[in-house]
Amino acid sequence: MATMTLVQAIHDALALEMERDPRVVLLGEDIGRNGGVFRATEGLWERFGPERVIDTPLAEAGIVGMAIGMSLNGLRPVAEIQFADFIFPAFEQIVSELAKFRYRSAGQFIAPVVIRTPSGGGIKGGHYHSQSPEAYFIHTAGLKVAMPSTPADAKGLLAAAMRDPDPVIFFEPKALYRTAKGEVPEGDFTVPLGKARTVRAGEDVSLITYGATVHVAEEAAALAQEEGIGVDLLDLRTLWPLDIEAVVRSVERTGRAVVLHEAPRTCGFGAELVALIQEKAFLHLKAPVARVTGFDTPFPYALEKLYIPDARRVLDAIRAAVSF
């Protein structure tokens, strides 16, 4: 075990996979000599050369389009989109092409591309350096979507994504890049896609979240515990395909659920979670399933702290569920 920040764990996974598999190439803006604006690829350009750590022209549709072509012809590309807010020029390549190659060719052409992109707020980045666009991609059949909350999961999930036969959109909560520190297994290490993690066990209410808000949830769960409320906290880790068994198992036990994310409320992933919970655990429910989310506004600059769910808001939802 080594103690790493989340961004160091990402770097560790990239370096190990590049070492292990010569088909792996990285491409994106400023990822070469500069090592990425968050330094996730620091030193890799020097170590693996500019042919495998590729500084591209500034065009996200080109980065993803090129990555797709690379994957069709046998490489394992990892594309970095510098901020998730800038992924939209590549939306057509992701939605119309990347997600559909396997299906439209009936398995003849596959595009195992990983798209890494920092998402979420908390760095005073305003509209265009803070968004959480995961729902668009979960909505698109053919994509897998993951988002780690700890350094160990960041390493293990990214390595698993890079070995997966399907395209994976890998969101990295940028607020955690340097604030999340933890023990990370050294060397070869994967965390399987599609498996949630129980962060803490409790009997009174299920709290289901992913990414940066896992840490908000932990804080809220600790406060709830002081009031005698046991929180069963689930970190989804892979958003899609969802670990539905873990979700249902938890809610069947507690009978109450709060879903939490930073992304906007309307048609956010929380809406899908609520729908699934009521479909699959309706007779176990003792209270309406609550959502704690960002607001249905563009991501703000000055009012960032108000926008991002905090422990107090989560605690309020927990109390409401328990006292319903």
Which parts of this chain interact with another protein (CB under 8 A)? 25, 51-52, 56-57, 59, 61-62, 65-75, 77, 89, 92-93, 96-97, 100-110, 141-142, 144, 164-166, 194, 241-242, 244
What is the spatial distance between Cα 122 and Cα 115, in angstroms, rounded to a whole number? Answer: 22
CB of 321 to another protein, least distance (A): 26
CA distance 97 to 91: 9
Q: How far is the CB of 165 from another protein (least distance, A)?
A: 4
Minimum CB distance to another protein smaller for 93 or for 206: 93
User: Rounded to whole angstroms, how far apart are CA atoms 139 and 133?
Assistant: 11
Catalytic residue among 11, 127, 129, 215: 129
Would you call 261 a catalytic residue per the annotation? no
- 129: tokens are 């350096």
Please state, as a whole number, how many other Cβ atoms lie within 10 Å of the Cβ of residue 322.
21
Of 89 and 182, the one with the shorter C-beta distance to another protein is 89
Q: Minimum CB separation from another protein for residue 144, in Å?
A: 7
> Which residue has 């070869």 as its token pair?
188
Cβ within 8 Å of residue 105, ≥6 positions away: none
Sign of CA dihedral 153, 122, 15, 183: negative
Of the pair 91, 301, the CB lying nearest another protein is at 91
Q: How many residues does the chain have?
A: 324
User: Looking at beta carbons only, is 109 or 189 nearer to another protein?
Assistant: 109
Nearest distance from C-beta of residue 231 to another protein, angstroms: 26
**Among all residues, which ones are annotated catalytic?**
129
